Amino acid sequence: MPTVDTDIERLFFTDVKQKKTTASGIRGRASRLGRVGSMVMPSDRMSGKAKRDYRRPGPLITYSLFEDLVSFEVFDRMKYEQHVQLLPKWRKKYGDDYICREWGLSRFGFEVILEVLG
């Protein structure tokens, strides 16, 4: 009749064995091509100079969401600071007539907006 100590010992060893097989992970399995080993990335196959050039940071490119003219509804929901900042840029880029036409404003309505913004 087995004792409690041997049952606990057997459970312990089976648990350790299962954990070892689980922990072996990718190194223990073969791929569909039959290869066994670590994963190789494309940059691992590059020469030293090419690898350094690949890892070097690229040029910094900045984008502005409001370079293009937005609709009047979007402009109306913006904060006052954004109005003061963006409207002069758009006036230089597009002109007053184009902005009035796109926003559906009369010239008088556009002048009122300009007076409010200062």
Each residue's pLDDT tens digit, 60-74? 877 677 788 889 998
Q: 58 pLDDT band (50/70/90 cuts)? A: confident
Token digits for 48? 């030293």
Mean pLDDT for the chain overall: 83
Contacts of 114 (CB under 8 A, 6+ apart): 87
pLDDT at 1 over 70: no
- CA 22 – CA 45 distance, rounded (Å): 30
pLDDT at 10 over 80: yes
- CA 80 – CA 36 distance, rounded (Å): 63
pLDDT at 23 over 70: no
The structure's pTM equals: 0.45
* Between 5 and 95, residue with greater pLDDT: 95
Helix (H, G, I), strand (E, B) or coil at 34: coil
Whole-number pLDDT of residue 87? 92
Q: Give the angle 71-75-79 at the CA atoms, nearest 5°.
A: 165
- CA 38 – CA 61 distance, rounded (Å): 36
pLDDT at 43 over 70: yes
Residue type, 7: D
Report yes or no: 66 and 100 within 8 Å, Cβ to Cβ: no
